Amino acid sequence: MAIDYQKEGKIAIFTINRPEALNAMNVQAARELHEAMVDFRDDPELWVGIITGAGDRAFCAGADIKDMLPFLKEHLQSSPWAMPATPMRGLDLWKPLIAAINGLTMGGGLEIALACDLRIASEKARFGCPEVTLGLIPGWGATQRLPRIVPWCKAAELLLTGKPIDAQEAYRIGLVNIVVPTEAVMSTAKEWAEVICQAGPLAVRAAKEAMIRGSSLTLEDGLRLENALEAYLMSTEDFTEGTTAFVEKRKPDFKGK
Ligand code: DAK
């Protein structure tokens, strides 16, 4: 399997498993990622996802230049949705995703990380958008997400020069949440996932939906969206449980209902 998909309690773990090609995404990997993400989205027992790369060198070196790019050349013009829907493009997913970035993160690999909500990076990680050096632009969202995440001039630097940056620079510009030793990347991602699992899962999903959908709305429409999601949350059992637990001075037992 190009994508190893595991469930550990409430956490889903997706591992891009092509270390011999620095975990470059071929078409098969994209299909398997789609299937695993749909299962994650639809499984009520799963609350948080973590994406990582197999081996100790790379998170993901991007689209497989020998497999995925020829496939796209053949299909993309006639079929803009030739690639299966993923969180990078086409699959709405309000459950939170954490990128456990264990090494090189290039091109489509950076786009996978950008489609996650939180990014935990190894001190050895490097980040780049080398597509222009291949005569391309990114196709899984980096031209759109990167300037929304980091300052415009840094997004332009990455996207126009194709030159990579190291983990400390990625942290400095706000591209990643934290930099840790390589061996601590996965354990840190799991710790953060566990913290999120203590919160009301429907509230976590609503917060993500409000952030993402709100980012392309006017402030007024965004506030309306926020209000609608708040009204929905107040009708849930989780809201009753969270507030009752506070009053009763105990831990809430959220059910996602
Ligand atoms: N594709 C295929 N194989 C790759 C690869 C890739 N992206 N990256 C590395 N590999 C393979 C190498 O070919 C090599 O295989 P063998 O020769 O051993 O068989 C093996 O991984 C080890 O790589 P290197 O020997 O090159 O390792 P180095 O440490 O010397 O160099 C490197 C590491 C990351 C600097 C180098 O491998 C490199 O430059 N890789 C290419 C990185 C890159 O350009 N990535 C961007 C690809 S374009 C779209 C969606 C997405 C995209 C486009 C459209 N739509 C939905 C429309 C995304 C596009 C891209 O990501």
- Which pLDDT tens digit goes with each residue over 80-114? 888 999 999 999 999 999 999 999 999 999 999 99
Cα separation, 193 vs 181, whole angstroms: 18
209 is an active site residue: no
CA distances from 104 to 30, 77, 117, 123 (A): 19, 30, 19, 11
Provide the 10 A C-beta neighbour count for residue 61: 26
35, 45, 111, 191: the active-site residue = 111
3-state secondary structure at position 5: strand
Task: Evaluate: CB of 21 within 6 angstroms of ligand 1.
Answer: yes
Q: In terms of Cα–Cα distance, which of 61, 65, 89 is closest to 164?
A: 61
104 lines ligand 1 (CB under 6 A): yes
Q: Return the structure tokens found at 20.
A: 């011999």
Supply the pLDDT for residue 80. Answer: 81
CATH 1.10.12 domain extents, the chain: 201-247
- pLDDT for res 24: 98
Distance 128 CA to ligand 1 centre (A): 11
Structure tokens at 234: 């107040």
- The Cα–Cα gap between 129 and 138 comes to 7
The correct CATH number of 201-247 out of 1.10.12, 1.10.30, 2.20.28, 3.30.200 is 1.10.12
pLDDT at position 81, please? Answer: 85
Ligand 1 center to residue 237 CA distance, Å?
A: 47
Q: What is the pLDDT of residue 98?
A: 99
Instruction: Give the pLDDT confidence of 40-79 residue by residue, as tens digits.
Output: 999 999 999 999 999 999 999 999 999 999 999 999 988 8
Assessment of whether the complete model's pTM goes beyond 0.85 = yes
How confident is the model at residue 18, as a pLDDT? 98
The residues of the chain scoring below 50 in pLDDT are none
Query: Across-strand partners of 60?
Result: 105
Which CATH fold would you assign to the domain 3-197?
Answer: 2-enoyl-CoA Hydratase; Chain A, domain 1 (3.90.226)
CATH 3.90.226.10 placement within the chain = 3-197
Based on the residue annotation, tell me whether 111 is a catalytic residue of this protein: yes
